[in-house]
Structure 1
Amino acid sequence: MSILELQLLKGFFLGLVEGVTEFIPVSSTGHLILIGEWINFASTESKVFEVVIQLGAILAIIWLFRERLIRLVRGSLVERDPVELSFLRNLIIAFLPAAVIGAIFIKSIKSLFFHPGVVAITLFVGGLIMLWVERKRAVPLQPTATKLEQISWKQALGVGFAQCLAMIPGTSRSGATIIGGMVAGIERKTATEFSFFLAIPTMLGAAVYDSYKHFGELSQADMLTILVGFVAAFLSALLVVRAVLAFVSKHTYRAFAWYRIVLSLFVAYFVF
């Protein structure tokens, strides 16, 4: 097997990992860093691969929820439906904190935190927080938002600030936004759906920004590897998203929390 073929195989494998982990609260970036270290994967020093292949997972979300997205666009821009305008407003509000903070600090974050040791710590802490939130939610409490259209701008803003924590690898963007939404009073399945929709502008913006910023650093082999990872992420995410929604409609996130804790201890054993 040639060096290029081996690199493409690694890219495909990491694309599968991205698609499977992006929309469950276990941190896709953390897994990409850990597995990338394990298989000695090297795309570019800028880590653009990990960000850009997320477009594959986002394309899966756009495809699966295309009818709801069309209704959102038509209702907001054409029909001026107050319900759709409110939903669009909430997505913008939730998107802005990460967009602003990311634009200012993302270079420093990548240089300081993209390391297996950081992933181990954030996986562990995030798992404990998830267990705590699920325990608090076990107490009978009526969520104030059980549908996407019922989410308030204050709840959306809370989700937006929670999303900022996900810039640190191992935190999990979906985990931060879902748990943040639950803490704000959004029902678990609704918080998960809102996290999926919020992922579209957030991850799309990050991927476009990184591609533009580091395009000159990419070799032809890098771009081919990214394309392979993109396709793998799209295909695997198509299978995972519906399964996640079906799971959270009947179960809590405790299983994912324990997975994070066990994985963090495993990683810490080899890192520290």
Structure 2
Amino acid sequence: MDFIRAIILGIIEGVTEWLPISSTGHLIIAEEFIKLNQSAAFKEMFDVVIQLGAILSVLVLYFHKLNPFEKRKSEREVKYTWRLWLKIIIACIPAALIGFALDNWLNAHFYNFVFVAIMLIIYGIAFIYVEKNWVPQHEFSVVDIDKLPYRTAFLIGAFQVLSLLPGTSRSGSTIIGGLLLGVSREVAAEFTFFLGIPIMFGASLLKIYKYFGHHSITFTQLGVLLVACLVAFGVSMLAIRWLMGYVKKHDFTFFGKYRIVLGVILLIYAGIRAIIH
């Protein structure tokens, strides 16, 4: 049964990691109803490490753009690739420093059902406000990722710090940040994908290090983790392609509405559960 649950959780991770609706939040919600028959420590590690599958999909889909050693690239293109990686690293500094320092504290205080619901609603409202009130009054000054200024990249990274709170969404916070900074939807979404590579690799390695510092892993647990990662990889490939096609013709208002509706449903459920128990 845990392998079936791993497949379901892998699908949820693959869909929600790149859409601005919070993958961590959805996994916390899913595990309210789909519980792995494993230790709490393993499940905590599982929720983060499963993201490795999603990361690999970005590396595959954007291998040419992200590979500075591509022989077919001109000298100018190689230079742009190195600059892109520098921007990614600069943008990841705020979340890496704060996330490393506050990882245990955040887990202890904010990884719960109600908090996720509240953050879904708050950022849903933010998406609608930004799309309906801010974007129409401001032109996009950055429509090409190669021309994304270093300062703007760093500020988008600063917005990424907000995603350390579950239910916020890493892609949601960075896309909102990008829109407020004058970055087009396509560039904001694409840069968000790239920011996930070092951040999620780092978060996964940190969780693995902490887990193996106190626990061992069984063959079944390893299998469950690998299955979930593989499913997340395949589904992420589809989700990324779909999102990039979607933002060329639509804004992010739909995702804002989805977040609000889901958040309200979850708060109602939490209230009913509290009354019953």
TM-score, normalising length: structure 1: 0.92
2:211 counterpart (214, 217, 223)? 214
Q: Alpha-carbon deviations, 1:76-112, whole Å to 9, x = none? A: 9x98954334322211111111110011001110111
- Counterpart for residue 3 of structure 1: none
1:106 counterpart (103, 107, 117)? 103
- Counterpart for residue 8 of structure 1: 3
1:50 counterpart (25, 30, 47)? 47
Aligned to 1:87, the other structure's residue is in SS state helix
Moved more, 181-190 or 84-93: 84-93
Equivalences for residues 143-162 of structure 1 within 5 A: 143-162=140-159
In 2, Cα distance between the equivalents of 1:74 and 1:105?
42
Asked if 1:239 is matched to 2:234, the reply is no
In 2, Cα distance between the equivalents of 1:117 and 1:52?
23
In 1, Cα distance between the equivalents of 2:52 and 2:71?
24
In 1, Cα distance between the equivalents of 2:245 and 2:194?
17
- Counterpart for residue 274 of structure 2: none
Amino acid corresponding to residue 151 of structure 1 in structure 2: L
In 1, Cα distance between the equivalents of 2:210 and 2:140?
42
In 1, Cα distance between the equivalents of 2:170 and 2:103?
15
CA contact (8 A) 1:72 1:88 kept: no
CA contact (8 A) 2:68 2:78 kept: no
- Counterpart for residue 257 of structure 1: 256
In 2, Cα distance between the equivalents of 1:105 and 1:73?
38
Moved more, 135-144 or 32-41: 135-144
CA contact (8 A) 1:155 1:185 kept: no
In 1, Cα distance between the equivalents of 2:71 and 2:199?
21
Number of residue pairs matched? 266
Q: Alpha-carbon deviations, 1:111-148, whole Å to 9, x = none? A: 11110111000000010111111113442432121111
Aligned to 1:228, the other structure's residue is in SS state helix
Asked if 1:26 is matched to 2:21, the reply is yes
Percent identity (aligned): 35
In 2, Cα distance between the equivalents of 1:213 and 1:69?
30
Amino acid corresponding to residue 34 of structure 1 in structure 2: I
Moved more, 96-105 or 203-212: 203-212
CA contact (8 A) 2:69 2:78 kept: no
Q: Offset of 1:73 from its aligned partner?
A: 7.6
Asked if 1:204 is matched to 2:201, the reply is yes
CA contact (8 A) 1:36 1:42 kept: no
In 2, Cα distance between the equivalents of 1:214 and 1:224?
16
Asked if 1:61 is matched to 2:65, the reply is no
Cα 1:229–1:81 change in 2 (3 A) is closer
Q: Alpha-carbon deviations, 1:212-231, whole Å to 9, x = none? A: 22122533322221111111
Cα 1:261–1:60 change in 2 (3 A) is same
TM-score, normalising length: structure 2: 0.90
Moved more, 144-153 or 64-73: 64-73
Amino acid corresponding to residue 47 of structure 2 in structure 1: E
Q: Alpha-carbon deviations, 1:205-252, whole Å to 9, x = none? A: 111111122122533322221111111101111111111000001100
CA contact (8 A) 1:72 1:84 kept: no
In 2, Cα distance between the equivalents of 1:193 and 1:43?
35
Aligned to 1:144, the other structure's residue is in SS state coil
CA contact (8 A) 2:64 2:70 kept: no
In 1, Cα distance between the equivalents of 2:82 and 2:52?
25
Amino acid corresponding to residue 220 of structure 1 in structure 2: F
Amino acid corresponding to residue 221 of structure 2 in structure 1: D
Q: Offset of 1:149 from its aligned partner?
A: 1.0
Amino acid corresponding to residue 245 of structure 1 in structure 2: M
CA contact (8 A) 1:58 1:199 kept: yes
